[in-house]
Chain A
Amino acid sequence: MSQLGTKKAEVDLPVRTKYEESRRQKTGVFFKKKVGWLFIIISILAITIFNFYPMVQAFLLSFQSGMGANLEYVGLDNWRRLFGDPTFIAALTNTTIYLLIQVPLMIILALFFSVLLNDPKLKFKSFFRIAIFLPCVTSLVAYSVVFKYLFGIDGIINQFLLNFGFISETVNFLADPFWAKVVIILAITWRWTGYNMIFYLAALQNVDKSIYEAARIDGASSLQQFFQITVPMLKPIILFTSITSTIGTLQIFDEIVNITNGGPGNATISISQYIYNLSFEYTPDFGYASTVSYVIVILVVILSIIQFRVAGEKK
């Protein structure tokens, strides 16, 4: 309300009504506040019980160690053990490799597809959009199993490569440390590119067409338009997708377990799978498992800060 308006009201209203009005307004504010609380209190309670409480418990647990239920406080022992643990280092290295290769690859692919599919002159647009988006509605386990069979020794990829003479002997993709990682990266990229593409497509709808028009009149090439207009305009969305993809990749579990089960010889094991193994495959050590979980938490925080700094709005 403008200052002028307030003054006018003060002048017009009799004293008693003014008092009542302000009282009514105040109770109104209180009422609104209460209703506001009413709406969020259940979520606050649920979040506290199901999110914050376990997080604090897990943090406390990361300073304990022992078999199953026989836990005792060991101070920083778990953290020390972490840095001398070759399996953890292997898991961390693998996860970092997935992250460094897969996330940029997927973001670029998603950007590329979204710009192509945003072209108003393109025919069968919805078909292509659905085709690229479809992988991310399939079940994680189902598509993992499909990838496993595609790349098996007798799988269709081997048959194809053999028939066309690219290879002379079948390649055991899943039993080779290098190729197994490639298969995992291909699988995640296949599934999640369409998901990110949808964000970019939505964002592209909001970019004013006149900017492109102006650029074209000024003689900007398509490539220049892409790098000078599209990418800067999509920056917040690129930031959002890279953070969500980073978090997703740091937590990668299903694909690894179903395609290679961490093998050959820990060559594809991820941090999440190691946490699972520590908790359920081996003699359970929940304390050490939560220490490893907190490594993911720390990594997510650090990487998100870096990404905000690099790509985010400067405030």
Chain B
Amino acid sequence: MKKFNLMFLAAASMAALAACSSGDEEASGGSGSEGSADVDEITAWAWDPAFNIAALENAKEAYNGDGDYEVNIIENAQDDIIQKLNTGLSSGTTNGMPNIVLIEDYRAQSFLQAYPDAFHPLTDVINSDDFADYKIATTSYDGEQYGLPFDSGVAALYVRTDYLEEAGYSVEDVTDITWQEYIEIGKDVKEATGKNMLTLDPNDLAQVRMMIQTNGSWYVEEDGSTPNIAGNETLEAGFETYKEMMDADIAKIVSDWSQFVGAFNSGEVASVPTGNWITPSVKQAADQSGKWAVVPMPRLDMEGAVNASNLGGSSWYVLNVDGKEQAADFLLNTFGSNPELYQTLVEDIGALGTYSPAAEGDAYAVEDEFFGGQQLLTDLSTWTDEIPAVNYGLHTYAIEDILVTGMQDYLNGAELDTVLENVQGQAEAQLK
């Protein structure tokens, strides 16, 4: 009797638990079913409602294939997507996973390598010649193309033309320059206007990241995992330039995103060197219309460095779950082959993709009054083609966390060689 009761209870609670989990299964769109891969609904995850989610909505409208399925768009914060993917994929269950997911390029390789077979190859689906080289490098692994390149992340220098004029400079003077020239101009601007040239966040080495990519270098070597810190001349130059900017006292120190945006919206800084996704934030200050221009990113003063770089950027991936054919079909018929879609994307939301055939469209040639009538999108897509392709590899953020401490030491007077050797040693010990 006693045993029976216990067993009954155990069975009942198991049933209750099972009921919970089967609920989850239903919510995920039945991805657990076997055999038939035909599903009538696919799910896509992305972050940023104004940009990526809006792009998905547009894509849904523009879909012109013959598949018959619903596209369910779900907005998540980027951190949440990373957490959910990591926990889901590492537990080996695909329940609750989306069919399409947006992943930041810096993290792409770590997902592709940490979860082999979790992603569905798109090699035969999209034509990789249609996309910028540097995006193909980050979205493919082991000879297979996994990601459909999307957000370009092309970096540019946003400048206040009125401040430049006050200091006796024109837009041409800041076009295609080196960082050294930039610093000199910055000093003059500060003297003439009292404004800092840019903002720097000591906790975020995005500036250094953009600098070293102008010379095709990265924190890791070509293999994507060996730390390339000590003796990396490009990185040394990046560090030196960063310190020069600090020493020249042309930078306002900020500690987070809102201070960063606040600094240029309130007119405290004369330029913003960053990814093109900042355009909507710059335009927020409507009273500054006509006072801005966008020029190519300064380059490091080195042989081979170019005036083009990248910051951030993301691409679409298809997970290897039921519905992958539909998901691939959806991507192919929208972001993979539809130049008109890209026209609406730039017109409606200012989202700049990396699909080359789209760049010839009329929408890209539109003159932007905020930037003094500049054909901003045409310029940005031109620079996109020049971005040096680097393998971001697996450890961008892990190395950068170590590097930030090294940068602090260096700014406080430590020898650069010693600092970088330390970082190299730490990175090697940590990243096996």
Contacts and interface: CB of A to CB of B under 8 A. Distances in A.
Interface of A: 30, 34, 37-38, 41-42, 45-46, 49, 65, 67-70, 81, 84-87, 90, 148, 152-154, 172, 174-175, 177, 260-266, 277, 279-284, 286
B398 A284 contact: no
Given A49-B17, A266-B401, A284 B429 contact: no
Given A38-B5, A70-B114, A153-B253, A282 B203 contact: no
B203 A68 contact: no
Interface in B158-201: none
B203 A265 contact: yes
A67 B89 CA distance: 12
B114 A148 contact: no
9 contacts: A68-B86, A68-B111, A87-B430, A260-B255, A263-B404, A266-B404, A283-B394, A284-B86, A284-B90
B429 A283 contact: no
Contacts of A265: 202-203, 404-405, 407-408
Contacts of A30: 2
Interface in B225-259: 253-256, 259
B395 interface: yes
A41 B114 contact: no
A279 B394 CA distance: 13
A265 to B, nearest CB: 4
Interface string B306-323: 000000000000000000
User: 6 tightest A-B contacts by CB?
Assistant: A68-B114, A263-B203, A282-B398, A283-B110, A67-B114, A265-B405
Contacts of A263: 202-203, 255, 404
Nearest to B398: A282
B82 interface: yes
B10 interface: yes
A42 B9 contact: yes
Nearest to A276: B83
B204 to A, nearest CB: 9
B255 A175 contact: yes
Contacts of A175: 202-203, 253, 255
Contacts of A90: 405
A85 B394 CA distance: 19
Contacts, number: 117
Nearest to A66: B114
A114 B90 CA distance: 48
Nearest to B408: A265
Contact of A172 (B83, B113, B253): B253
A115 B139 CA distance: 63
B205 to A, nearest CB: 10
A42 B15 CA distance: 12
B203 A264 contact: yes
B6 interface: yes
Contacts of B202: 175, 263-265
B255 A34 contact: no
B398 A69 contact: no
B13 interface: yes
Interface in B1-44: 2, 5-6, 9-10, 13, 17
Contact of A67 (B9, B17, B110, B408): B110
Given A49-B17, A153-B253, A172-B255, A67 B5 contact: no
Interface string B73-102: 000000100110010011010000000000
B177 to A, nearest CB: 28
Given A153-B253, A172-B255, A87 B203 contact: no
Given A69-B90, A265-B202, A85 B429 contact: yes
B90 A68 contact: yes
A65 B255 contact: no
Contacts of A177: 408
Contacts of A264: 202-203, 404, 408
B83 A280 contact: yes
B207 to A, nearest CB: 15
A263 B400 CA distance: 12
Contacts of B69: none
A139 B395 CA distance: 33
A275 B234 CA distance: 31
A283 B255 contact: no
A13 B83 CA distance: 71
Contact of B432 (A45, A65, A69, A262): A65
A177 B254 CA distance: 15
Contact of B114 (A65, A153, A261, A283): A283
A281 B426 CA distance: 17
A41 B203 contact: no
Between B89, B253, B254, B256, the greatest number of chain A beta carbons within 10 A of the residue's beta carbon is seen for B256
Given A34-B2, A263-B202, A265-B408, A84 B401 contact: no
A70 B398 contact: no
A38 B2 CA distance: 10
Given A34-B5, A172-B253, A281 B90 contact: no
Contacts of B256: 148, 261
A106 to B, nearest CB: 26
Nearest to A286: B90
Contacts of B361: none
A42 B255 contact: no
Given A67-B110, A68-B90, A45 B395 contact: no
Query: Which of B6, B395, B408 counts the most chain A CB atoms within 10 A?
Result: B408
